[in-house]
Structure 1
């Protein structure tokens, strides 16, 4: 890489960082309730399409090893779409790790689907202790989240899938863990 390219990449990275900082600082301090939906039983059949698409994927994990997501079939699954540059995503990760620790040996698995480059996800995972598998999807993760009902493409976006393969609930925005724990108790 030439010095000229390095300077150009640095300038672009600084611009993105400045825009992110500006948005973060100027965002309202009030936390809005996450947008949630509960899937009615008669609509459950329509929710198997995105679940089947999810289970059909094989994605690299943070270490670069490709993993089949079908390995999680038959478990209650909490799928968290996130990105390292998304402050609410990063803020909820310690609580998600704690939740995964509470459910070790139980029928719940949390997975993270990172919407960023493999190198950024690997760097992030190396800096922070994450107690659940994190996979790299790049921008295709946004398309997958849209199939689950995330029409705006916002992050974080979380999907609760029952062991029966049906979408039970979706959450847009930072999770409210009291509500999530109540939803998990109803599975």
Structure 2
């Protein structure tokens, strides 16, 4: 009796595996690949002036015009408290901000003021910070990040044009060199 139960159970299990595999194969033929858009996305020409036209709240309750940072090299890092790679790169950005005094650093949080205030108690940010909330997604898209992914870092020349764009977490050594070139080209 036990042998018959094992044989019938084995046949049933093999049948379920076969049906699952056939279903998966058929559905994956019809579904678009994850790394390919269903409709091609139109290339967006970055518009840095939309960023410099913005006014964003700081953590002290004031409102900061982004235009105040035009005229000097600027490193802008878009981040969020809920984004692990964003949080991981903050100490590297703190070190680079201390090293490269010829450039301004600005953190733009795509989050709520309350979340950011609580966050900086435990993870200090040693450079200027503002909170963009949902408006931040529109700003990163205006700067060419159509997916709106974080972290997102943009290096600006003093004239407000884009020097370099970094999608995803920064490589501190590479960013160090890029900032050095930005500052040298701005002197």
Task: State TM-score, norm by structure 2.
Answer: 0.70
The answer on whether the counterparts of 1:76 and 1:109 sit within 8 Å (CA) in structure 2 is: yes
SS in structure 2 at match of 1:113: strand
- Residue 142 of structure 1: how far off its partner (Å): 0.8
Query: Partner of 2:107 in structure 1?
Result: 112
How far off is 1:91 after superposition? 0.4
Superposed CA offset, 1:104-129 (max 9, x none): 3x2x0110110111111111123222
In structure 1, the residue matched to 2:134 is 139
Q: Secondary structure at the match of 2:154?
A: strand
Q: Distance in 2 between matches of 1:51 and 1:163?
A: 12
User: Aligned residue pairs: how many?
Assistant: 138
**CA deviation string 1:60-85 (max 9, x = no partner):** 11222211221111111111110000
Structure 2 partner of 1:32: none
Q: State the 1:165 CA deviation.
A: 1.4
The answer to whether the aligner puts 1:157 opposite 2:152 as a matched pair is yes
Unaligned runs of 5+ in 1: 1-45
How far apart are 1:164 and its partner, in Å? 2.2
Highest CA radius of gyration, 1 or 2? 2
| Contact kept in structure 1, 2:48 and 2:142, CA below 8 Å | no
Partner of 2:172: 177
Q: Aligned equivalents of 2:138 and 2:54: distance in 1?
A: 13
Given that 1:81 and 1:155 are in contact with CA atoms closer than 8 Å, whether structure 2 keeps it comes out as yes
Regions of 4+ moved over 3 Å: none
Name the counterpart of 2:118.
Answer: 123
Asked if the contact 2:156–2:163 (Cα under 8 Å) also holds between the matched residues in 1, the reply is yes
User: Deviations along 1:31-69, whole A, 9 cap, x unmatched?
Assistant: xxxxxxxxxxxxxxx64xx32222212111122221122
Inter-partner Cα distance in structure 2 for 1:79 and 1:172: 12
For residues 168 and 101 of structure 1, the distance between their equivalents in structure 2, rounded to whole angstroms, comes to 20
Is contact 1:80-1:157 (8 Å) kept?
yes
- 1:79 is aligned to 2:85: no
Structure 2, unaligned runs of 5 or more: 1-44, 183-187
Of 67, 88, 91 in structure 2, the residue corresponding to residue 70 of structure 1 is: 67
Whether 1:88 aligns to 2:85 is yes
